[in-house]
Amino acid sequence: MSLALAPLDVSVELEANLPCRKFDPDLWFSDSPTDLELAKTLCGDCPLRVECLAGAVERAEPWGVWGGEIFERGAVVPRKRPRGRPRKEDLARDAALQVEAEARLAASGVATSRSAVRLAA
């Protein structure tokens, strides 16, 4: 009788270095725009950022920060808006941030066209 050896699980060591495993997981699913921006920043140095973002786009994640981008209702949004009516300067900033989010998605190779991933307006 031969014994099969289980493969070495290197993902355990890798998971210890992922920001979403080190910090409070609720940070990535917060309602606070400030918390979500912090989560996006923490994702910046993650070794699995591109894969995480690609998976979230493929699954159309309903909400949260995935791969350094904020998802809401299955779409990438440039920033989480607080409750209430947006100010005029916020609308202009949102338009600029949407262009920036599209550029980041294109640069990461996840989506090459607007039809490949839906961006929320």
Query: Given the DSSP bridges, would you call strands 75-77 and 63-66 parallel, antiparallel or unpaired?
Result: unpaired
46 annotated among ligand-binding-site residues = yes
| DSSP reduced 3-state for 3 | coil
43 annotated among ligand-binding-site residues = yes
DSSP string, 48-93: THHHHHHHHHHHT-SEEEETTEEEETTEEESSPPPSSPPPHHHHHH
CB atoms within 10 A of CB 62: 11
| DSSP reduced 3-state for 42 | helix
20 annotated among ligand-binding-site residues = yes
Name the binding residues: 20, 43, 46, 52
Name the binding residues for [4Fe-4S] cluster: 20, 43, 46, 52
